[in-house]
């Protein structure tokens, strides 16, 4: 096992990773920008290094600074968390070249899965069902028109380098394809520096269901069931639950087995998430994330496994800690992403938290780096915490969630807590009857 792990991230996930390291007796190194000097992940780490000014490009994304921090502290491994450099193949390669272990898959797997066109080709080759779409990149408007016509409208134009729901445009008829194609390309170029786009059939009522996998890098792989992340705004997850209210044991076992066989064939190493859209009983692969996900705690709650400890074990060369037949699911878990945003306009609300009282009790987990007196800097993502509840049944979980939301007090800033309180009063949410468009429709029709 490693002696010292540097955590190349901030906020709740940096803290989450530190907790796993501490339980394993591994020393931790926090890195931070000048804006994060007072952050909890810095306060609780064994050591910390300032890696640059507030802007992410000059700090959390600054590879030379991170390498220097490894060198100064003698860290023997780096955990990238999610976002920032977690899916940067070059970062993984550079670390390995410097004798530092990257806690994640091989750079080759990161690269392949990071390009969504290559990822879909790989998935198809590994017998994973994929969402119907163009064979590769679409270079011209004429090609876009032809492919869309063959596939039938509506279609979705997506960025090959996409992420965070950006560079995605729907064309519902031949009249709108040209504009969608040009806007998607322009957005992709601006956001990712790469204007390659492809086309997919736009599914009208799917759920987003993703499968958590772990591989040992030598051909053994298991799955830890699914997470339903259908409640979304602007293609971004807001609330997640496991298991999915839409799947039965047979469907779960079927897709789980397809995915773990594929991961085993590709000799995947570490944690990964294979994302699908699920419509009319069929699964369609959309992408794979080669890292830990924001919503991983709901899987932890129903499996009893610590996913970060498992990542650390595998990265240090240990085998998977359990076999597929040893994975059991217990009860239900739901996560609400608490963002420092206005609950209706979603305008970011940085500033000082003047009062902080998180909920507690049986089956309650709050992953957050926030505290009373903490000043949320304006430079980063607005996620300030995750409220995760576990219950024997989905209904028990919903009751617990309502109770926790009413107990949670965060003063001084706006948060998305009131939105969740409102949503939990909706019959469709109580019944688990929602698809990826449900929340957008709800927000458009309820002031």
Catalytic sites, residue numbers:
291
Q: How far is the CB of 172 from ligand ADP (least distance, A)?
A: 12
Residues 269, 109: Cα–Cα separation, whole Å: 9
Q: Which is nearer to ligand ADP, 165 or 304 (CB)?
A: 165
Identity of the residue, 113 or 417, whose beta carbon is nearer to ligand ADP in the bound complex: 113
Backbone angles phi, psi at 117, to 5 degrees: -70, -45
Contact present, 431 and 425 (Cβ < 8 Å): no
Q: Which CB, 197 or 370, lies closer to ligand ADP? A: 197
Query: Which of residues 113 and 410 has its CB atom nearest to ligand ADP in the complex?
Result: 113
Spatial CB neighbours of 154, under 8 Å, sequence gap ≥ 6 = 170, 171, 172, 173, 202, 204
**Cβ 364 to ligand ADP shortest distance, Å:** 27
| Residues 78 and 1 sit within 8 Å (Cβ to Cβ) | no
Which residues form the interface with ligand ADP (CB under 6 A)?
131, 156, 162-165, 200-203, 206, 208, 232, 235, 275, 277, 286-287, 436
- B/e letters for 282-314, b = 16+ CB within 10 Å, e = fewer, are ebbbbbbbbbbbbbbbbbbbbbebbbbbbbbbb
Nearest residue (CB) to ligand ADP, 67 versus 383: 383
Q: What is the dihedral of CA 173, 179, 185, 190, to 10 degrees?
A: -130
Report, in Å, the least distance between residue 346 CB and ligand ADP.
17
Contacts of residues 313-319 at CB distance under 8 Å and 24 or more positions apart, as own/partner, are 313/1, 314/214, 314/215, 314/216, 314/217, 314/269, 314/270, 315/2, 315/77, 315/101, 315/102, 315/103, 315/104, 315/270, 316/1, 316/2, 316/77, 316/101, 318/1, 319/216, 319/220
| Least CB distance to ligand ADP at residue 202 (A) | 5
Three-class DSSP category at 329: coil
CB of 210 vs ligand ADP, minimal distance in Å: 9
Contact 47, 29 (CB under 8 A): yes
Identify which of residues 209 and 376 has a Cβ nearer to ligand ADP in the complex: 209
Taking the complex as a whole, the smallest distance from the CB of residue 192 to ligand ADP amounts, in Å, to 10
Residue 69 corresponds to which tokens in the numbers above? 């921090």
**210: β partners:** 227, 275
> Distance (Å, rounded) from C-alpha 406 to C-alpha 388?
14
- The rounded distance, in Å, linking the Cα atoms of 230 and 207 is 5
In the complex, minimum distance from the CB of residue 17 to ligand ADP, in angstroms, rounded to a whole number: 22
Considering beta carbons, is residue 241 or 275 the nearer one to ligand ADP?
Answer: 275
CB 269 within 8 A of CB 216: yes
Nearest to ligand ADP of 162, 256 (CB atom): 162
Cα Rg of the chain (Å, integer): 21
- Closest by alpha carbon to 255, among 224, 294, 280? 224
266: three-class secondary structure by DSSP = coil
Nearest-approach distance from CB 429 to ligand ADP, in angstroms: 17
Could you tell me if 444 and 382 are in contact, meaning their C-beta atoms sit under 8 angstroms apart?
A: no
């Amino acid at each position: 096992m490693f002696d010292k792990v540097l955590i190349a991230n901030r906020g709740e996930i940096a803290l989450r990773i530190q907790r796993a390291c501490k339980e394993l007796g591994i020393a931790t190194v926090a890195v931070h920008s000048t804006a994060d000097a007072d952050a909890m992940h810095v306060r609780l780490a064994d050591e910390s290094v300032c890696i640059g000014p507030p802007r992410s490009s000059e700090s959390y994304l600054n590879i030379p600074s991170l390498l220097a921090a490894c060198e100064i502290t003698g860290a023997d491994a780096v955990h990238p968390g999610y976002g920032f450099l977690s899916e940067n193949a070059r970062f993984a390669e550079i670390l390995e070249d410097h004798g530092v272990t990257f806690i994640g898959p091989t750079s080759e797997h990161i690269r392949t899965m990071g390009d969504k066109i290559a990822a879909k080709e790989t998935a198809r080759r590994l017998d994973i069902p994929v969402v119907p779409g163009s064979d590769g990149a679409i270079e011209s408007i004429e090609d876009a028109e032809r492919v869309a016509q063959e596939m039938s409208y509506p279609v979705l134009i997506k960025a090959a380098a996409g992420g965070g729901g950006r560079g995605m445009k729907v064309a519902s008829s031949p009249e709108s394809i040209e504009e969608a194609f040009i806007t998607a390309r322009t957005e992709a170029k601006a956001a990712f520096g790469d204007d390659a786009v492809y086309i997919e059939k736009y599914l009208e009522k799917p759920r987003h269901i993703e499968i958590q996998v772990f591989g040992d890098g030598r051909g053994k792989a298991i799955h830890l069931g699914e997470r339903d992340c259908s409640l979304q705004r602007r293609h971004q997850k807001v609330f997640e639950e496991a298991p999915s209210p839409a799947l039965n044991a047979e469907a779960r076992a079927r897709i789980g087995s397809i995915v773990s066989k594929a991961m085993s064939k590709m000799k995947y190493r570490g944690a990964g998430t294979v994302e699908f859209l699920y419509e009319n009983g069929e699964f369609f692969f959309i992408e794979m994330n080669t890292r830990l996900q924001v919503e991983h705690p709901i899987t932890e709650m129903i499996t009893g496994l610590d996913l970060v400890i498992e990542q650390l074990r595998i990265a240090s060369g240990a085998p998977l800690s359990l076999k597929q037949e040893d994975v059991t699911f217990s009860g239900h878990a739901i996560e609400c992403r608490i963002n420092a945003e206005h609950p209706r306009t979603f305008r970011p609300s940085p500033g000082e938290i003047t009062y902080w009282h998180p909920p507690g009790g049986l089956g309650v987990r709050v992953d957050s780096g926030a505290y009373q007196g903490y000043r949320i800097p304006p430079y980063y993502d607005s996620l300030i915490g995750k409220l995760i509840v576990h219950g024997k049944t989905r209904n028990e979980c919903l009751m617990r969630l309502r109770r926790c939301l009413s107990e949670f007090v965060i003063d001084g800033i706006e948060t998305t807590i009131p939105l969740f309180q409102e949503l939990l009063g909706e019959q469709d949410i109580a019944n688990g009857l929602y698809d990826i468009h449900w929340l957008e429709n709800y927000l458009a029709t309820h002031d």
